[in-house]
Amino acid sequence: SEVADQLGVMHSVEALKAITAIDYIAPTSDENVTVTDTEFSNVAVRLYLPRKPSDGLRRAVVYFHGGGWCLGQAGMKSYDRLTRWTSNRLNAVVVSVNYRLAPKYRFPVQFEDVYSVMKFFLQSSVLSQYGVDPDRVCVAGDSAGGNLAAAVAQQLLEDSEVKTRLKAQALLYPALQTLDLNLPSYQENENKPVLSRLFMVKLWSEYFTSDSSLREAMASNRHVPVESSHLFQFVNWSNFLPEELKKGHVYTSPAYGSSELAQKYPGFLDPRAAPLLASDAQLRGLPLTYVLTCGHDVLRDDGVMYARRLQAAGVPVTHDHAKDAFHGVMMFVSSPTELAVGRRLLNRYIGWLNENL
């Protein structure tokens, strides 16, 4: 994809989309789940309705896929498997959202798409239509989808129009902050698969703009202006990481960047894009939370810091840290790419939903 970009044939993200499109499968029902593609609030979704009888109202999970806000879709084999298994094993209604993607659409479009789906689904008439218990709804997502899920859960607390409250949120190796892209996890896993530091920087910057100056500033960790320096308190890893993850790292705050970039692209300072920037007061009402982090992942410390901050705010949190796992590992759970660690973490995630939703 990078070669195609350098040759001027195709934007690197569009090239990656073409590659991942090979993994698409049409909505296919089976003996356990009825699967259809439809729209909620004019946003495309894939809907999974269990066929097993239910003693009462069902649980529901609204899921946002990963892919750095640029890639992925509900119809990718890996996501279809994940959401299908979730629906079948929990006997739950699952809504998997196909939000619009960068580079054609920039922040806040992705957030607005998933938020409008969530608001639509939480209407009592819609919950009733699908036989969903309003007290047993979860929002979930992985990577960029975990970012969107966290942002949606926060925004719902501020929205007086929404009467139904989430029971839970599940964040799988989420990206949660744009301020400090040189955390210990970014340094230690700089060149690890599946997500290198520079690729994550590229995805973050593409979420906001095609302007290479933002990507270059992010790559050197010089993109936050001095007038926003008060926000660093929310991502100061020396206050939030356990000693075992600090290792020999010494905290230094990032160098300040140009005010012009922040004025042009204010999204990277917005909690809807960086949920770790929410104040402690804004975190207090959040629902029961599951956070999965992986040892070999640049995003590890984002999730660890969020789990710590939520715990300090009094939110019930289950933090599942998999030292032996890498970013996106739960996508590798089928032949010929079956990974035992991926299967183990998938079972833990669904097990937590089963116990807590």
**Would strands 93-98 and 43-50 be described as parallel, antiparallel, or unpaired?**
antiparallel
Q: Of the residues 113, 180, 297, 302, which is catalytic? A: 297
From the list 245, 342, 348, 219, the residue with the least C-alpha distance to 301 is 245
d(CA 103, CA 326) in angstroms, rounded, equals: 26
Do residues 136 and 122 make contact, with C-beta atoms less than 8 angstroms apart?
no
Catalytic residue among 143, 185, 205, 228: 143
Active-site position among 65, 223, 296, 327? 327
Q: Is 327 a catalytic residue?
A: yes
Buried b (16+ CB within 10 A) or exposed e, 159-191: eeeeebebbbbbbbbbbbbbbbbbbbbbebbee
- Per-position b or e across 97-135, b if 16+ CB within 10 A of its CB: bbbebbbebbbbbbbebbbbbbbbbbbeebbeeeebbbe
> Is 29 noted as a catalytic residue in this protein?
no
Q: Are 236 and 224 in contact, with CB atoms under 8 Å apart? A: no
User: Any idea what the Cα angle at residue 256 is, between residues 251 and 262, rounded to 5°?
Assistant: 125
Residues near 350 by beta carbon (within 8 Å), at least 6 away in sequence: 85, 86, 89, 90
Q: Is 334 a catalytic residue?
A: no
- Catalytic annotation, residues: 143, 297, 327
